[in-house]
Homo-oligomer: A and B are copies of this chain.
Amino acid sequence: MHGYSTPLRDMRFVLHELLGAERLSGLPGYADATPETIDAVLEEAAKLAENVLAPLNRSGDEEGCVYENGVVRTPRGFKEAYARFREGGWTGVSAAPEHGGQGLPKLVNFVLEEMFSSANFAFAIYPGLSQGAYNAIQLHAEEGLQRIYLPKLADGSWSGTMCLTEPQCGTDLGLIHTRAVPAEDGSYRLTGTKIFISAGEHDLTSNIVHLVLARLPDAPTGTRGISLFVVPKFLPVRRNGGWEAGARNGVRCAGIEHKMGIKASSTCTMQFEDAVGWLVGEPHKGMRAMFTMMNGARLAVGLQGLAAAEAAYQKARAYARERLQGRSLKGAAMPGEPADPIIVHPDVRRNLLTIKAFVEGARALAYWVGYHLDLQARHPDPAERAAADDLAALMTPIVKAFLTDQGFTATNLAMQVFGGHGYIRETGVEQHVRDVRIAQIYEGANGIQALDLVGRKLGQNTGRLLRRFFHPMAAFLEEHGKDPTLAELLAPLARAFGRLQQATVLIAQKGLKDPEEAAAAASDYLQLFGYVALGWMWARMAVVAREKLPRANGEASFYDAKLQTAHFYMQRTLPHATAHFAALAAGKDSLMVLPADAF
């Protein structure tokens, strides 16, 4: 059994050496976010992740949440861990200082989300949802609501949820039944049933703030008739100059789900019966406000994919170094032992390197997108802000879906390294597989992410979003493409990039005439895009590592490993991009021709 050890060196490599995150401290409001401050925050967070959260990961899975009579008990230790989490200020790292937050860049929060999810996937869901609620209220609610809720969400004394799904609708929110009727005092009364509500009920906070999609009486049908409401478990009352949880509201947890994984995270059925709520944003414009939450949540889910893979990788790597079995094909590596550690075997190395190349490439990609969220929020130049917004919008479905699909695969590879021992719960690696499996599903199943990419993002402003990725990548290949020492890395990448461009043209042409063609290509296109994007990140990391090597002193092996892993990625992982190109290029016919009853 191995705990979690925060990959701080790798995280700093991406932040400081790849992205140049020190530039963030030049943005308005981020003056404090110097590299030194960021590193100090990461180190403190790492201690919490390793010493408080990780030790509760397995017991949390074994015990799960317990439901009784409307009440949900989290597993032993979760309450105390959450109290320490709050006391450390971790619920408000990126919240505004005027609400008691630390006002640190969103990018810092990305790194923390990775750590916390690696250490304890189920635990990290609770504070993660609060952040989404904070963002939605901050951006869309009127000031009176902000004054009540934002400080409570920032200091973690209250937590948040997103109440979208109903029994008859998940993906298709146009089918929502929950109704909101205006009351005389300007508030609303909500009635309906929501399912699959993460953190809908629990014992970690004194209040729970539900953000609920519902229909007003005069609402048009479909998604254009949905409004967003804030519905607290306890109605806020003014006390001692602040706000506290007061009378119980008409919202109740009717049960929790028994799931494949994330058992320590409560997944609740919530019943609203004349529950008091307040409108967030404009009537019938709830989907827009909810997407503020969703976009952040989708990126966070992508981070979960990477986080689970990292945690599983650490276990597999340790096992591969310890487990003695068989001999190196080159002759005994440890002749004094009964056998060699299995890390001598090429196929074990292949599994480990596949995970390593994914995790480190995915981290670079996710943080790069996180960096653009900060540019989008704080850059003084509106054109820079708009460009960063475009890039984040484009990459969100890719980060969400590619990092969770590949993260699931990577976590399974880690389990495979353990052989039979991996299937046993005791080892802990199979829990990562079960936990991360949800990430391909929630916050919009990955097929929906692909449709978002192809159906909404590609065509937006005649391809403007896409150019935010294509142009700098093309410029990078142009700049480094003539360097013969990089040819081995960049030639396959340039070919894959060519495929991506070809695929884009193909989809644009066919999809314009027939939207089914675009939908039929969507998932393979997203995978192709993800492989190319990670390839670009690896090429950029390789360029950085090569520059650093001559002055690396004690860190030569660190930079060497980056270069070697970049080569591995191009040789062993990137070829899969081509398969997705070929699949999508085949078009929709073989998908659509079979009648439903012939399946």
Contacts and interface: CB of A to CB of B under 8 A. Distances in A.
Given A260-B425, A321-B599, A575-B579, 7 more contacts: A171-B325, A345-B519, A348-B447, A353-B599, A423-B442, A571-B583, A572-B591
Contact of A326 (B172, B258, B320): B172
Nearest to A519: B346
B575 A175 contact: no
A346 B575 contact: no
A596 interface: yes
A70 to B, nearest CB: 20
A326 B560 CA distance: 50
A12 interface: no
A590 to B, nearest CB: 4
Contacts of A522: 346-347
Given A416-B447, A598-B557, A426 B258 contact: yes
A424 interface: yes
A445 interface: yes
A451 B450 CA distance: 37
Contacts of A420: 165, 170, 196, 441-442, 445
Nearest to A581: B575
21 contacts: A170-B325, A175-B338, A257-B425, A260-B423, A260-B434, A329-B519, A341-B596, A346-B522, A346-B588, A347-B447, A348-B447, A349-B592, A350-B523, A416-B441, A416-B446, A423-B441, A560-B598, A571-B586, A572-B590, A575-B580, A578-B579
Interface string A557-574: 110110011011001110
Interface of A: 165, 168-172, 174-175, 196, 257-261, 317, 320-321, 324-326, 329-330, 338-339, 341, 343-353, 356, 408, 412, 415-416, 419-426, 430, 433-434, 437-438, 440-442, 445-447, 450-451, 515-516, 519-520, 522-523, 557-558, 560-561, 564-565, 567-568, 571-573, 575-583, 586, 588-599
Contacts of A589: 567
B564 A575 contact: no
Contacts of A440: 416
Contacts of A344: 596
B564 A346 contact: no
Given A260-B425, A440-B416, A326 B171 contact: yes
Most buried by B among A341, A346, A450: A346
A573 to B, nearest CB: 8
A31 B196 CA distance: 58
A516 B329 CA distance: 6
Contacts of A580: 575
Nearest to A340: B172
B523 A561 contact: no
A304 to B, nearest CB: 14
Nearest to A520: B346
A173 B260 CA distance: 34
A446 B351 CA distance: 12
Contacts of A434: 260, 434
A259 B426 CA distance: 8
Given A329-B519, A594-B564, A416 B445 contact: yes
Nearest to A565: B594
Given A568-B591, A591-B350, A321 B596 contact: yes
